[in-house]
Amino acid sequence: MLTVDRLLFVRKVPIFQELRDDFLVRLAAIMEELQFPAKHTIFTQGEEGRSLYVLVSGRVKVHIGNRELARLEQGTCFGEMAVFDAEPRSASITTLESCECLMLTQQQLYEAIEETPGIAINIIRLLSRRTRELNQKINLLQEGDGRKLKT
């Protein structure tokens, strides 16, 4: 991926939106480009996490064991929780088709936040949105269980 293409792509990723182009150029240049085949586990629940990934192409599933939690598509970040809380990965990520990702290490991310704190706010927004979505799913499941018990 050419540097210009990386910049154009990274600019569209929600956690990097609203950041200055000069900063995005440097950030895009240091991100490692990775390719994964279909049905490849990028990381497993319980592993130490020291990097976040941005999905450039393809689709992945987020899962715990055989239970699928979500499917992610182009432009989506994953792996960010373990980078911030130094806890093991909370779920596994497996490719559904061949995928290309950009990877940002914990150290690179911390340096980016130090230089441009706006990136931290964008990541907080992402985590909040995902928490709300999971809360809605749990609520719907509980409502469904309640209906089953009443009938």
pLDDT per residue as tens, the chain (151 positions): 677 888 888 888 887 877 778 888 888 888 999 999 999 999 999 999 889 999 999 999 999 999 998 999 999 989 988 887 878 999 999 999 999 999 988 888 888 888 888 778 887 887 888 888 888 888 888 887 665 545 4
Query: Is there a contact between 102 and 54 (Cβ–Cβ < 8 Å)?
Result: yes
Query: What is the Cα–Cα distance from 139 to 2, expressed in whole angstroms?
Result: 44
Quote the pTM value.
Answer: 0.79
Count up the domains in the chain and report the number: 1
Query: What is the Cα–Cα distance from 44 to 117, expressed in whole angstroms?
Result: 29
Among candidate residues 59, 67, 64, the one with its CA nearest the CA of residue 38: 59
What pLDDT, on the 0 to 100 scale, is given for residue 146? 62
Amino acid in position 12: K
Among candidate residues 101, 57, 97, 98, the one with its CA nearest the CA of residue 79: 101
Whichever domain contains 70, its CATH number is 2.60.120.10
Amino acid in position 52: L
Distance of CA 20 to the CA centre of its chain: 21
What pLDDT, on the 0 to 100 scale, is given for residue 151? 45
Among candidate residues 21, 65, 18, the one with its CA nearest the CA of residue 44: 65
- 3-state helix vs strand vs coil in the chain, percent to 5: 50, 25, 25
Supply 31's token pair: 């991100």
Spell out the long-range contacts of 1-4 with Cβ–Cβ below 8 A and sequence spacing 24 or more. 1/33, 1/56, 1/100, 3/28, 3/29
Q: Evaluate the CA torsion angle 13, 16, 18, 24 in order and state its sign.
A: negative
Domain that holds residue 75: 3-150
